[in-house]
């Protein structure tokens, strides 16, 4: 079955540590995205990538970094510079501009 796999489901880290969230898709989609969701807020775009080896900052990119070395993979690193990293992180993909987003199951990150 085609889909998007995010791992791990839950992640706990100490403040000051970098952490990398995994996102893999086998839908053959060109575009991939990272969103952050906080309680009572809409999804906010962190980074997106239209093609391999290219990515663009979203609305809240500070304190995050990404890479897109393969079409299937779009990992997100939450760095120690991110002031409030505790959140629900969602990876998504779409086949092209304006097409529906398909989401992974999410990673819930808790930093203490």
50 is an interface residue for other proteins by CB under 8 A: yes
**Rounded distance, CA 57 to CA 4, Å?**
21
**Binding residue (CB under 8 A) for other proteins from 58, 65, 75, 79:** 58
16 is an interface residue for other proteins by CB under 8 A: no
Closer residue to other proteins, CB minimum distance, 11 or 43: 43
**Binding residue (CB under 8 A) for other proteins from 15, 16, 42, 54:** 42
**Rounded distance, CA 10 to CA 40, Å?**
20
CB of 16 to other proteins, least distance (A): 27
Beta-carbon count within 10 A of 68 CB:
19
**Binding residue (CB under 8 A) for other proteins from 19, 104, 109, 111:** 104
CB of 42 to other proteins, least distance (A): 4
Q: Which residues of 30-49 are buried (b: 16+ CB within 10 A; e: fewer)?
A: bbbbbbbeeeeeeeebbbbb
Is the CB of residue 24 less than 8 Å from the CB of residue 93? no
Where on the chain is the footprint of other proteins (CB under 8 A)? 31, 33, 35, 40-43, 45, 48, 50, 56, 58, 90, 94, 97-106
């Amino acid at each position: 079955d085609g889909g998007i796999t995010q791992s791990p489901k839950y992640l706990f880290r100490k403040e000051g540590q970098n952490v990398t969230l995994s996102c893999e898709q086998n839908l053959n989609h060109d575009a991939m995205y990272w969103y952050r969701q906080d309680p009572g807020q809409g999804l906010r775009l962190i980074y997106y990538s239209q093609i391999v080896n290219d990515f663009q900052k979203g609305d809240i990119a500070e304190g995050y970094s990404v890479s897109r070395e393969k079409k299937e993979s779009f990992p997100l690193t939450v760095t120690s510079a991110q002031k409030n990293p505790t959140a629900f992180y969602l990876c998504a993909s779409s086949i092209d501009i304006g097409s529906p987003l398909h989401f992974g199951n999410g990673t819930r990150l808790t930093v203490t």
